[in-house]
Amino acid sequence: MENLIALFNFGFFRNAFIAAFIASVTCGIIGTYIVSRRIVFISGGITHASFGGIGMGYYFGFDPILGAVAFGILSALGIEFFTKKADLREDSAIAMLWSLGMALGVIFIFLTPGYAPNLMSYLFGNILTVSKGDLVYLFLLAVFVIGFFLIFYRMIIFVSFDEEFALTNNAPVRLFNALLISLVALTIVLNIRVVGIILVMSLLTIPQAIANLFTKRFDFMILYSIGFGFLGSVAGLTFSYTYDIPSGAAIIFTLVVLYGLIKTTFLIIERANITRGKD
């Protein structure tokens, strides 16, 4: 505990701590929507397709994250279009855009003059290098995500869990699907700069899997996901600093171990209850 408190003397750790909290909030909300709708594979496709925008940013000389945002949102809308309008299977559309984005990213980076940029930061991230500017972007994203879900919470639940009934009631299903999938893309891409592609996927799925062990309610899952995501992130940061290992990998490892411990505990309790019932 004393070691953790001592870490707050360092500015980089304070920034990482704040970034971990904000990322846990945005990924907790969006991840709960993704897991509840069972579209985790779509988020994976968006995440990797945005790599094409990163490559374009390096090649044309603008901020790679801006390219990733544009590419991510267009890929998300493209998946919606191909599956709903072009009669293409969802998994096929995701795989096609996933591979296209990665291919374009590699091509543009290869064509970029000079030394090839280090792409490991986009794959695994480094939350310990978060700047105050990054924190501002993350904060604005968190405000927007929270505000959107608070204002349209009932409509989001209505459209997400009973789409056919919503259509029969003339609800703006297609509009909200497009807005939500664009918000998913925006959340993923803006968090990539801070925590990397791999860790974003972990924060969008593992805390939600843990939360699902405790509750099935959408609102409670959001709160539990935020809590477990933040707990795993802080524990991972401490683990990373103590053993001098990459922060992203440490956070992912911590989250998986946390899930394993809680799941094992639930199984032990369940078996104990079954044994008592038989007695």
pLDDT tens column, 12-26: 888 888 998 999 999
Contacts 24+ apart (CB under 8 A), 230-233: 230/20, 230/21, 230/24, 231/258, 232/206, 232/207, 232/258, 233/20, 233/21, 233/23, 233/24, 233/127, 233/203
Written as six digits, the tokens of 137 are 């972007």
The C-alpha atoms of residue 186 and residue 69 are separated, in whole angstroms, by 6
Q: For 45-49, 83-87, 158-162, which range has the lowest pLDDT when averaged over its residues?
A: 83-87
Q: What is the mean pLDDT of residues 42-53?
A: 81
Give residue 159's pLDDT.
80
pLDDT at 249: 81
Read off the pLDDT of residues 114-156 as tens digits, 9 standing for 90 and up.
766 666 666 666 787 788 888 898 999 999 999 999 999 988 8
| CATH architecture of the domain with range 2-278 | Orthogonal Bundle (1.10)
- What integer pLDDT is reported at residue 198 of this predicted model? 75
Q: Look at residue 227 in the predicted model and tell me its pLDDT.
A: 95
Does residue 29 register a pLDDT over 90? yes
The answer on pLDDT for 80 being more than 80 is no
More confident residue, 141 or 5: 141
- CA-nearest of 256, 205, 196 to 33 is 205
Per the prediction, the chain carries an average pLDDT of 84
For the chain, the structural domain boundaries read: 2-278
Average pLDDT over residues 230-239: 89
| Residues 238-274: tens digit of each pLDDT | 888 888 888 888 888 999 999 999 999 999 988 888 7
Residue 192 CA to chain centroid, in angstroms? Answer: 8
pLDDT of residue 232: 92
Q: Which residue has the higher pLDDT, 158 or 207?
A: 207
Task: Quote the pTM value.
Answer: 0.87
Predicted confidence band of residue 215 (pLDDT cuts 50, 70, 90): very high
- The identity of residue 13, as a single letter, is F
Q: What percent of the chain has pLDDT over 70?
A: 92
Q: What is the DSSP letter of 129?
A: G
**pLDDT: which is higher, 278 or 56:** 56
Mean pLDDT of 73-93: 78
Residue 86 confidence (pLDDT) above 70: no
Give the pLDDT confidence score for residue 223 in this predicted structure.
95
- pLDDT at residue 279 greater than cutoff 70: no
